[in-house]
Copies of this chain bind each other. A is one copy, B any other.
């Protein structure tokens, strides 16, 4: 296959060149009718903001340019079949759940998954069995699962339809997927990997191996996050015969727009081309430069540390820097604010860490700017008399979960809990109640509490701590978490 081609992008250029008159949607008519002040800004993209006319194929029924573009992507990422997603990895996760699970079906799921995994399971009415991850001691964040976590769960739940893990986690830490795939396939079930943060994995020798190359059966990748497509465009890859592809295609057509955005789809096409033609080489060199720089900066820091891997993780994404302050009184939120004041916008923070995300290429000027900023923050902390250095404790408030390896069934289905009659109570009175909503510190978007989970004192402690440190909540009715929705007694 000719990876120099970008069939969908080229089809849109052909569409533009034809200069036919549009008596069809969209109403901006190739960009000719548009807000005066924004017209020039949008013009080039609106000229290819097409719809399902001749030559432009149909995402939900691909036979031409979109089918070709998807096939080139499948080759580039090592899949048997690739689906372009215009609803982000959210759409991929919803579709995975709805394709693999009928109502009541058991599925083994890593507890610290993105909310879209739980939302998919909720819509599918699946019966998830949660496996709780280990915690990385230096940063205090929840890791991924290992084969030793998954094996007993598969033995305890032989009817499970699949195992669903998240790899890497939001901090770029990964586990050995090959081993997990092995235990899954020995049990005859597919391995689903939410690889939202690892679209670049396997694309150079100095980044972690990809989930597909490790034996995963269905993989969701946010192409926009670590590669170069437009935000909200992602890919879903399938390999082997354990995934019902026909049902998957039907479900994707169900949950994604029937008017998918062509600029978004074409950005996936050119992101794949860019990666294959030059991105892989650039990525290799970027990783070399970044690793050198990380070690250099680390040697100059006193109070801050940049995570460099450890015995608890199998792989580390070199395009992510997790920066932690040795003084527990300096939260990740504070670090994020300080960096922002110096013009460096981080990806996210939690109570302990701030995460910086690089891309497959980076300008030296930007690394230097970050270098300067980190040194200045380090100095500020060092000179602050009120702070005392101490070892970093494992912070329960970063990864607020049960004992690592715990396997736990939901007491009530996510769906029933979400749909049931609820009441709002002050957060202090919620201990012992069943939660009726998702409580999601955002980012990272991993629910602290799910509908149907029992509210424990350590949850309240975590909510209080996140709130005080400056964190934000999604998913709950009261975004300040002074109150919480619980199931009314009737249901319990």
Seen from chain A, the residues whose Cβ lies within 8 Å of a Cβ on chain B are 6, 9, 18-29, 32-38, 40-46, 48-51, 53-54, 58, 60-61, 86-91, 94, 102-103, 114-116, 119, 122-123, 199-200, 222, 224-232, 246, 250, 253-264, 266-267, 270-271, 273-274, 278, 321, 339-340, 343-348, 356-363, 366, 369-370, 415, 418-419, 437, 442, 445, 472, 474-475, 477, 479
Distance from A26 Cβ to chain B, minimum over Cβ atoms (Å): 5
A366 touches B21 (CB 8 A): yes
Q: How many copies does the complex hold?
A: 2
Distance from A467 Cβ to chain B, minimum over Cβ atoms (Å): 14
Indicate which residue in B258, B274, B415, B472 contacts A34 across the interface (CB closer than 8 Å).
Answer: B274
Which among A22, A227, A278 has the greatest number of chain B C-beta atoms within 10 A?
A22
Indicate which residue in B6, B27, B103, B437 contacts A228 across the interface (CB closer than 8 Å).
Answer: B27
Indicate which residue in B227, B255, B261, B263 contacts A94 across the interface (CB closer than 8 Å).
Answer: B255
B262 touches A231 (CB 8 A): yes
Nearest 9 Cβ contacts at the A-B interface = A88-B257, A35-B270, A35-B274, A23-B356, A24-B347, A28-B228, A232-B261, A27-B359, A38-B270
Distance from A41 Cβ to chain B, minimum over Cβ atoms (Å): 5
Which among A26, A51, A229 has the greatest number of chain B C-beta atoms within 10 A?
A26
Assembled-state Cα–Cα distance A185/B90 (Å): 36
The verdict on A472 contacting B257 (CB below 8 Å), with A366-B21, A369-B21 known, is: no
Distance from A350 Cβ to chain B, minimum over Cβ atoms (Å): 15
Distance from A335 Cβ to chain B, minimum over Cβ atoms (Å): 12
Residues of B within 8 A of A226 (CB): 25, 27
The verdict on A61 contacting B474 (CB below 8 Å), with A103-B419, A225-B27 known, is: yes
Distance from A349 Cβ to chain B, minimum over Cβ atoms (Å): 11
Residues of B within 8 A of A228 (CB): 26-28, 33-35
The verdict on A24 contacting B345 (CB below 8 Å), with A35-B273, A258-B115, A472-B61 known, is: yes
B474 touches A253 (CB 8 A): yes
The verdict on A33 contacting B360 (CB below 8 Å), with A21-B343, A24-B345, A257-B90 known, is: yes
The verdict on A261 contacting B259 (CB below 8 Å), with A53-B345, A340-B54 known, is: no
Which among A45, A257, A347, A366 has the greatest number of chain B C-beta atoms within 10 A?
A257
The verdict on A61 contacting B442 (CB below 8 Å), with A88-B257, A90-B257 known, is: yes
The verdict on A445 contacting B274 (CB below 8 Å), with A38-B6, A49-B230, A345-B23 known, is: no
Residues of B within 8 A of A229 (CB): 26-28
Residues of B within 8 A of A114 (CB): 258
B20 touches A345 (CB 8 A): yes
Indicate which residue in B20, B224, B274, B343 contacts A26 across the interface (CB closer than 8 Å).
Answer: B224
Residues of B within 8 A of A369 (CB): 21
